[in-house]
Structure 1
Amino acid sequence: MRPGSSLLIDLLICLRFATRLPLPILGVESAPHALASFSHALRLLPMAGALIGALAAGALAVASALGLPPALSAPIAIGFLILLSGALHEDGLADCADGFGGGATRERKLEIMQDSRIGAFGALALALALYLRVAGLAIIAGWSIGLASAVIIGAAALSRAAALLPLVLLPPARSGGAGFAAGKPEPAALRIALSLGCLFALAPILAGGGAARALFAIAAVSGAALAFVGLARRQIGGQTGDVAGATQQIGEIIAYLVFAAGN
């Protein structure tokens, strides 16, 4: 298989994992929807995130070009992000909030996290997360649509790189589910993923976001991800797909807040 084909397959695997886009299946793919090869393919997860972010940034630009103010164009962009991902990461955030907040024991927390119903903690976490993302993006878009677009792309890539940290630093909390099936990232693939996440996170510099602020965003997202890894360790003793999804949401929110804090 040619190197270019390998990269394309890895990107398709990551896009299938992170989105609900109807993607073609290449003839050389033996199991396009299996997670067995994700531990290697995840090297391009930040690139998949950047592509998702670019589509959402396009929605933001179109809404703005049609005359919609940031208070309306920002929720359209965030809504498009959610539509593209099928609310996969939002579901993880809600499940973690319900499990961590509502369970008294590790076993009960994991049981709650597997429940498809959303409880009070999950609903509040989703509402707060959605508000912070929309409000933060609207503030940035009020200054510059170009900067807001770059922040969307950078945050989408960096937060997905950060979502790999629970898979590296924690054992699976249960013998099943996406967190168990994905496996532990290969060291080389992880290095590539983290490097790509940081590289895309520098995109706002090109739109006037400032190097210091972009570097601070990388540090803040990394710190928040590590803090959530510690919380998951204390709460359930490991990681699940929900933990990875919640980490992505937290990272994306932190990135928006860093750039919304000043221009």
Structure 2
Amino acid sequence: MKYITAFFMAWGNFITLPCPYKKWDSKLLNMMLMFLPAIGAVIGALWLIVIELMVWFGIPDQITAFVAVFFLFAICGFMHLDGFMDCNDAILSRRPLEERQRILKDSNVGAFAVVSVVFLLLGWYAAMTVQIQSTHLLVYFLIPIVSRLNAGWDVLTKDPIGHSQYAADHSEKGKWKYEIVMVAETMIFVIIWVAIFGIESWRTGDITVIAIECAACIAAGGFARKQLGGMSGDIAGYTICFGELAAIITAAIVL
């Protein structure tokens, strides 16, 4: 039962769709993170359906790209975009560590947050406009899964900032089981995709896209943790945004 509770905790926390089972257990925060790849699969499946329907109806590429970008952020309640902005506000301030951590917690929006999110969305829109023309559904399905696998792994394994909501549960024993399950989830979703659509649904460039996404997530997460003194939910959002941007730009180039 606790696994069901943890899954729907992740659903209610990370997706704006109505949650069919509303129950919260603060003791299951780490187990909730275990289901991040599954949440990514839900997002990826819905995302590719929206894109495919718009392409099928002949909606212009520019409009389809706009809706695709909006949908990816909106279905998460703009949570990860908020973390991306907060981290950029703090990191780009170039202040001492304590001041950067204070800025990270500050609810006010600074200039660095605005500038960084403008360039993020411009990059997303430009790449999506190109990528729409190839309509490669596997990429749309995998990008949200891989980004959340990386972000969830970091939250579970990296030392948290003192004010992080995950700090109290970081010392939980046996967390390695959650990490293994996260990787297994990702592999299961890949196997399911191949079983449904066949191995021919993979292109050579797909591996490049996913490899670049993983590298970008690792680099972004490592950089943010070094700049901010530990891991947090905001840094997870920062990691997801950078990783997914790198993936969609790579897809636009190689696919």
2:225 equivalent in structure 1: 233
Deviations 1:53-86 (A, max 9, x none): 2222222223223321221112102212222111
Partner Cα separation in structure 2 for residue 255 and residue 96 of structure 1? 20
Partner Cα separation in structure 2 for residue 60 and residue 135 of structure 1? 16
Question: Per the alignment, in what secondary structure is the counterpart of residue 254 of structure 2?
Answer: coil
- Given candidates 76, 79, 95, the residue that maps to 2:67 is 76
Deviation at 1:40, TM superposition (A): 1.8
Which stretch of the first structure deviates more once superposed, 98-107 or 132-141?
132-141
Question: Per the alignment, in what secondary structure is the counterpart of residue 250 of structure 2?
Answer: helix
- Given candidates 95, 98, 101, the residue that maps to 2:89 is 98
- Given candidates 112, 116, 123, the residue that maps to 2:107 is 116
| Aligned 8 A contact 1:97 1:121 in 2 | yes
Question: Per the alignment, in what secondary structure is the counterpart of residue 142 of structure 1?
Answer: coil
1:245 equivalent in structure 2: 237
| Aligned 8 A contact 1:162 1:222 in 2 | yes
1:15 equivalent in structure 2: 11
Q: How much is the aligned-residue C-alpha RMSD, in angstroms?
A: 2.5
Amino acid in structure 1 at the alignment position of 2:167: F
Partner Cα separation in structure 2 for residue 125 and residue 194 of structure 1? 31
- Given candidates 182, 188, 191, the residue that maps to 2:177 is 188
Partner Cα separation in structure 2 for residue 35 and residue 65 of structure 1? 44
| Aligned 8 A contact 2:205 2:254 in 1 | no
Amino acid in structure 1 at the alignment position of 2:218: L
| Aligned 8 A contact 1:165 1:225 in 2 | no
Deviation at 1:216, TM superposition (A): 2.4
Deviation at 1:189, TM superposition (A): 1.2
Partner Cα separation in structure 2 for residue 23 and residue 181 of structure 1? 26
Deviation at 1:23, TM superposition (A): 0.9
| Aligned 8 A contact 2:91 2:100 in 1 | yes
Partner Cα separation in structure 1 for residue 30 and residue 133 of structure 2? 39
Q: Does 1:197 align with 2:183?
A: no
1:29 equivalent in structure 2: none
1:173 equivalent in structure 2: 161
1:221 equivalent in structure 2: 213
- Given candidates 46, 62, 66, the residue that maps to 2:57 is 66
Over the matched positions of the two proteins, sequence identity in percent amounts to 24
Structure 2: tracts of 5 or more residues without a match: none
Structure 1: tracts of 5 or more residues without a match: 27-31
Compute the TM-score of the two structures, normalised by the length of structure 1. 0.84
Change in 2 beyond 3 A, CA 1:16/1:184: farther
Q: Does 1:44 align with 2:35?
A: yes
Deviation at 1:92, TM superposition (A): 0.4
Deviation at 1:208, TM superposition (A): 4.3
Which stretch of the first structure deviates more once superposed, 97-106 or 180-189?
180-189
